[in-house]
């Protein structure tokens, strides 16, 4: 049974979980008019909006009214925008602006590009994707994250829920977009005496459980994501304490033990990404190159890694 997608992000900070998407009190945000809700998250809702003059469509990430009262949460929203704007890559969602609300009743919000696609959690099912497609999707995710790392950012919450899969209308190929920089951190961010822990438990690296994420933590999380795509489940399962222990102390199974036919090269690549010591993991760019090589070798016309 597939369990990773049902596990929410872990944020040891003052964040309130929202049970469902609610249309915000205001239907107008600056020059943008809310059309319909799209998704719910731990900080608020995401809505489709259209420019009142041009009709151009955007996605709005709007803070919940309760959270909007907390200055530190509003600051995090602005930080998410600033982090996203540090780099431009076709595999990273574009965030155009962060607003505090310009009209009465407006809540703080982000203006993002609107994308029509399917969540990777829904696309993958219970380990139902063929291996060439997994190679291509993985290569694109790794390429996008490598660009983020080059810009000095650690994503900190790499998981299928934060990857959108789109099909190109011209050539029919699949493209991915990495979403949600809400808990991302700068690589050179000063270390706190009481570091916060943020991420999703089933795919958090050992050092991330200690509140010390680094670029190699995203590599580990992508290893967990690939393990999930290949086998239909994450490398470890259990309660929060059990997951914390497993990620820090236990060795994962070989994916080929759970899905016969997985080639040794993919086994090795995933297990290297899941190394307990960050220094033993490949870089994100190395991961992108190796996955792209596998994609090209097995089905060059199925997917090409974004560059």
Nearest to 142 by CA among 24, 291, 245, 303: 291
d(CA 184, CA 10): 13
157 is catalytic: yes
d(CA 202, CA 246): 10
Positive or negative: CA dihedral 237, 238, 244, 250:
negative
Beta bridge partners of 10: 199
> Which of 64, 157, 161, 228 is labelled catalytic?
157
d(CA 119, CA 252): 26
Assigned token pair, 264: 């040794």
> How far is CA 43 from its chain centroid?
15
Long-range contacts (CB closer than 8 Å, 24 or more residues apart) made by 170-174: 173/302, 173/303, 173/304, 174/133, 174/136, 174/137, 174/302, 174/303
**Active-site residue numbers?**
157
């Amino acid at each position: 049974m597939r369990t990773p997608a049902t596990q929410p992000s872990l944020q040891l900070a003052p964040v309130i979980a929202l049970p469902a998407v609610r249309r915000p009190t205001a239907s107008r945000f600056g020059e943008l008019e809310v059309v319909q809700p799209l998704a719910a998250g731990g900080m608020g809702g995401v809505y489709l909006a259209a420019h009142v003059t041009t009709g151009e469509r955007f996605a709005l990430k709007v803070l919940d009214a309760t959270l909007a009262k907390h200055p530190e949460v509003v600051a995090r929203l602005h930080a998410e925008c600033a982090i996203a704007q540090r780099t431009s890559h076709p595999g990273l969602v574009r965030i155009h602006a962060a607003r505090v609300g310009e009209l009465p009743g407006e809540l703080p919000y982000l203006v993002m590009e609107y994308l029509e696609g399917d969540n990777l959690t829904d696309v993958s099912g219970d380990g139902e994707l063929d291996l060439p497609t997994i190679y291509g999707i993985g290569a694109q995710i790794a390429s996008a994250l490598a660009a983020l790392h080059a810009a000095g950012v650690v994503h900190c919450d790499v998981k299928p829920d934060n990857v959108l899969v789109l099909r190109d209308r011209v050539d029919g190929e699949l493209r991915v977009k990495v979403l949600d920089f809400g808990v991302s951190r700068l690589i050179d961010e000063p270390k706190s005496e009481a570091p916060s822990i943020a991420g999703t438990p089933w795919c958090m690296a050992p050092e991330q459980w200690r509140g010390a994420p680094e670029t190699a933590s995203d590599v580990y999380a992508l290893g967990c994501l690939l393990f999930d795509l290949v086998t239909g489940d994450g490398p470890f399962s259990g309660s929060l304490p059990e997951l914390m222990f497993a990620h820090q102390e236990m060795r994962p199974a070989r994916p080929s033990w759970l899905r016969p036919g997985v080639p040794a090269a993919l086994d090795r690549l995933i297990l290297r990404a899941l190394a307990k010591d960050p220094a033993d993991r490949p870089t994100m760019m190395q991961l992108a190159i190796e996955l792209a090589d596998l994609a090209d070798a097995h089905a060059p016309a199925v997917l090409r890694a974004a560059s």
